[in-house]
Each structure stands twice: as C-alpha cells, then as structure tokens.
Structure 1
C-alpha cells in the first residue's frame, strides 16, 4: 500500500490523529539534528593550535572560536564546513545552528529539557537563544526559567514577547545603554525621486512614542478627509472625483504631507467638527492618551527592576514610559482589581467585564491562538454558555466570557465546538471530532478524555466526596471550582 493510498483511506479522526503523530516525528527529527550538531561540536572542541605541526593562526591555521553566548565552549573554526556539507546548508547557517544548540545546552538548560521532551517548537527555543545571547551567563537563567515554564503550551508569539521582557529585566542597565545608542541613530531621510513614478521615499527612525503619535495623527487626518472630502479636493483638485476610489494608505500618504501644514490641519479639523463629526481630542490642541501597564506586584512595591509591558509597544523601562506620555495629558486611573466580578441581566457585555477579562486572559482564548489582547483590539466577547433570552438572570459576566477573534468566534459558533469556562481565565475546549484542549494564561494544553470529564464534572466530584466524608457540601458555582479543576489539570 502506497503512502498516498494510506492517507486516502483515513477518515476525519484518522487525519487528526496522523497529523498529531507527524508533528511529534518532525520535532523528534529536529531535536535529533541539534543533538548531532552538538556531538560534532564536542568532537571538535580541542584546541587545534595545540596539535603537533599546527599551522599558526596568522597563516590561516585553524583556531577555537566562540559561536554561542557567554559560558558556552569554543569550537574549531574550520570544522563547520564539512558538517554544513552533510546537512546540505550554507556554512553560515550551520555555524548559527551550532551557536543556538550550544546556548540551549549550556545557557538555557531548562528550555533545552523541554525541547528534548518534544514539548515545544524547536525554532522558538533557538530564537530565544539568539535573543538572550548578549546576556552574561549569570543573568540568562532568568530568561531560561520563565521561557521553560511557558514554552510548552504558550503560542510562539507570546513566548517570544515573554522572552523579550525577561531579557530586558535580566540586564536593565545594558538595555538602557542600547536604548541610548538607538537614540543616537534616530533621523529622517528623504530619498531620491523614484523613477518612473516620480514619488519619493521618506524613512524615519524615531522613538516608539513619537511613532505612535505620528501614526495616530495620520489616522485622524484621514478620518477628517473622509468627513470633509470637499476640503481635501480644494487642496488637491487632481484627485479622483470619488474619494472612495483612494485606498486608506493613499490617503495616509496625503495626510503625511499635511503634517508640514499645521494651519491646514487645524482648519480641516474645524471643518470636520462643523460637519458634526467627532474629532478625537488627540487631534485637537490637548493630547490625551490611555496607556495600560502590566506590572507585577513586586514592581508596584518597588522591589523589582522588571519592565512594564505597554500594550502595542512591548516591554519598556520606566524612563521609556515617561518619555512616551511626557507631552500628553496624563490621567492615572486606579489599579484594576481582577478579583472583582460583575454579572448583568443583558446580552451585551459591560465595559468593566470586557476590560477585566482581557487583562486576565492575556490573549485570544481559542486553542493555540497567537493573538494578544489589547483594549483597542477587535475581539468578540463570546458566551461559553450560550445566552438564553428566556434563561435566568446574570448570564453575562466574568463567569461567562471568552474573548475570541472574529474568525475563531465564527468557527466556534458554526462548527460545533464546545467550551466550558472553568474559572475567570481558564477554558476547556472540545473540537467537533473530540479533541480536548485546556486554555489558560500559561497557554494551551492537551487533555485526554478522562481529564476532560473530571474537569467538566469537578463540582459533582467534590459534592460526592463531601457526602462520603460527612462534611457539609461546598458551594458550587455554575462554572466550576477553580481549586478543584486546578488540582486535576494535566502537567
């Protein structure tokens, strides 16, 4: 039987099972490749200059070189080429792979153990190795511990975002020095006229805060263009009669030119206001901004040098956050208490529930989703227990809210997925063909049928245990007990 025939004979469940097995085989092959690379490095770790008759380095002789970060053993420089031939890759690519493998084994041992257990995508671990390579050996352990805990079930994008923040935290002084060096490289460059189109390219290297402000002002100018196309056409009579024929990027290009004409921008905003179109305050005289900072409690108490994570911009030191909002009106809001809960007798989710849920869940709650939730992101608040217009009160709230992207929401609604919310930020999913996945702030975890049943019936199990022990039954909630399901969560 050929391989094609065997695949053609599979039903839907068989295809899903074979896909899972193929992933395991792929990861095993990639780990084997790294182990062979390490074995080659070990075989070529002695100093070639110590061998009898060695050609001196000044005449092109072989030498030991450091391919990984601080704390990794050196490797003979000229051994790379033959391994590259065997792996059918360029020597530069093989040299980089050796460095990644050495970093994982010697600098990130906890993460390397997860890789060897086939618990994560190999490319994510090797990218973390490169991200943390400049850290000293005594500082990289902070990155290793955090990544090893998250990498098994967390989406790659979120793991890399975590690693980025930990690299900053591990050596904030070095990060500040890099920021200073980057600031010295800022500038704006206007290129030559592009032929034959006659356009020019403008490249700007600015701070993250300035880039965000410029982007926001461009968007608001475009909105005003759409509100008052007559004003735009007065200044640009050569534009199409129908402004809708222009893409938003084309309008942004026009708006960029208007940044050099502040008087025209001011008049445009005034005209948009006259047309009863709301122009955000950021586009008028006073600028206002809302910045969500994700902080550990130790940072609030002054006991940590960890950076704050700014939504949309990533990890930042305090001085960066200060520069980000220094020229804007700053309103400090109270810390959002994620222990609070709200339920309402309506289908629509209150803003307070949406805000707390997105801060708790970190990202889209669909299995293996990569999206990171932001307050301005376009995510739907889905009822894990479908809303019943004739049902009991309080169906909408923290206990019944799963943030999903529109695509994942459609799949859940129309393809027969089932989801049960186990606590404020933990969800048990069952796919149309019976695959179970537990999604929580640490990522997505595979669950077998038995564990899925126990999680779904946690309250029933607790009540039965209480009856056997003679203790009064514990109060059960509609979504299950957090303590009970966490005790049987798979490792």
Structure 2
C-alpha cells in the first residue's frame, strides 16, 4: 500500500506569512542566497577557463589561485569586474577563491555547491591555505569538508588554521619568524569627523616606553587644558605631541621639577652623558632650524575663499577626505603653508610634448577628481597615479595632444590594464571618461560615479565629442565643448 503525500502549498509573500511560514521563507532565502553566491563563483571560474591562454607574447598570464590552479590572462580580469560592477581586486579574489575550491579543495567545494554552508567561509579557507603546495592542501580539504556544514564559521576557520600548520610546519615556523621581524606604522582612512586610526607593530619594549611617554604627556596636558577632557582624549592629543619633538621637549622641561631630585640619585639607565649639552645646543638653535626637526610632509587642502575668510565651511584634504575648516589647525599644526589660487578650468592648457607639465596634471586632477577607472574609489592621491593619454600619443600627430581633453589619472595597475588589456577610453567632456571593453561593454565615469551605457550611447558620446559637443543622456541636453575646459 502506498501513500501519496499532498502537494506542498506555495508559501505566501513575506508580508502575509504566519510565524511558521516566516521561518520557512527564511530558510529558503538562505539557500537561495548561498546558491546565488555559488553561481558567481562558477562564473568567475568559467571566465578564467575561457581566458586561460594569452592572445600574444605581450599578454601576461597570472595565477591568482594557489599551486596547481590554472593561469588566467591578467588583463581579462578587469573586464569581468566591470560586468560585476566591482573593483578588479575584488573580482580577482573571487576568481582565485573559485579556482582554489575547484582544483585544490574539491571536497569542500562539493558542500558549497550543494548550498549546505556559507560560501564566504569556504573562500576564507581557500585564502588561509593558498600558500600550501597542491599535495599538502588535501589534509585541509578533508578536515574542512567534514566540519563546514555543521560548525560555526569560527570553529571551521580554527580547524583550517590548525590543519595548515600541520600540513607544513616548517613554513609556519619560518612565517612566524618573519612575522616577528615585521614592523609597520599605518594610517586608516579618515572618518566623517576628520579623525584617523594610527596602527603600529613595534617591540614590546618600545610599546611600553611609548605608552609611558603618552601617559606622562597626557598627565601634563590634564593640568594645562582644564578638566573637561577625559584621559583617553588626553592620550590621543599627547600622541600628536610626539610628532613635534621640540615642542615636546619644551613641555617636558617646563613640567619637570629638577630641584626635588636627590643629587645622589643614580642617573636612569637610558640617560646619555651629554644630555645637558644636547639641551644647550637645542636652546641655541634659531627657531627656523628648530622647525626643521619636525620633518617634512605634503598635504593638498582644497577650500574656498569664503571658508578662509569666515573660518566656517568644509575643507577637503587629499588622502584624508572632507573635514570642518575649524579642524585645519589640527591637521596642519604649525606647518608652513603655501596658498595657491584656484585653477580656472576653462583655460586652454595643451602642450605638444608627451610629458604632462605640472599645471596640466593639476588641471586634469581637479577636473577628474581621482582615478578615472570604472568602479574605482576616488581615494588615490595624485602622487600615486599616472596621467594617461586617452587616445595614445602620436609623435607624428597634431599639436596639443597632451591636455585635459585627452588625459585621465590612472593608478599604475589600471594604466597597464588599459594599455595592454584591449580597453579603450575617450574624454567626452570635462571630467567625463568613456570606457569600452573588448566584449562590447561600455561605461561612463564622471563626477556621479560609474554607470553602464549601451553601445549606441557610447557611439553617440564618442561621435558627439568629435564634433565638439558634450552629450548627456536623460537630461536631453547637449553642450558645445572645445576641449579646453
């Protein structure tokens, strides 16, 4: 005797679901999301397969995945990134993780493909195990495949880390030794209030002395700045004093009572014999020479004449972001400041040479506002970009090829991709860059960001600019453009 179960009733929309149905919908949504991420990985893997051979001897191949994964054309990755509307580095990571899962972690990939685990956890395992050789990574694959469907992500990643160490203990010891000698001091990006995080990796001894000095200066500032500052705030301010050694020395000398020290007290182990002579030399130095002890740096600050006059408004600091004008003294301190007038972007600035003069670079940078590659953050600083001719420079061509009408700032990697990856670009108005890819995609990059345009729209934009017309879609407007703006 067989029993036929009734057909499952379709679930209602979320806003009409009961409590039980909401739970069923949540489970279904989870699986749908996981499978959608799996499909993205599959597409990345397939793109690597169809671009697995160079077009010619100048077409470089890279291996984004680990040992045993196939290579892919380096300049093919940005085109897939454009289709996905992401930065090329994000898409490169997707391709690398997908190739690792298929070729190096097949047992784990089977669980991912079935939608039984979070794909991001498997991708993280791929990254953790990437340095292992192909014959070593199987140990990681077996352990992770058994755990990834039922354990919390943190547990799975702990298992993966342990198996990576177990698979190659010698490399792990070498990495630990290398890490012990690795030092750095890094700055985060600025937040919306103009503050940044300073992160450093130093020895335990240096960290202790820095912490003690910051505490010492914070205690002094607590007596000079009033009681309306908490200790953490004072320590943050104190850290800034360490960047001004002359001011710091003066502060410490003014708030150190040397008369209470016992004459018979032994000198601290860190004190140098000629400390008094050093202090005397500092006291005798002119103020301008003392200022040089602070080191040199360069910041580009953009603000209006009204902000300068009234002391209110917003300033934009390249590499930092927008800050309140009243915070400029925190950024600039007592530094020497050079004030330059605003460039008139309507002026004609063209030269006949291949090299971009500084005034043309400034014009292009201000007009474009940053790296003009599609879907790229505008966070690059001008000292880290190349100024690229949109239409390649021709030694036998017409005069005035180098100027805002034919130039765009690009990070070096983006510049190489544009040059060797089959991408073409045109400047179709002040700060407007039209990009086209080998497979027919087209994108317009301007002050509003990056947006996809159709092939017909791209052809119209390029054709209009040839006639000196700047074309806008959606606004039903055109504007004459001489290329000098």
TM-score by length of 1: 0.41
Higher alpha-carbon Rg: 2
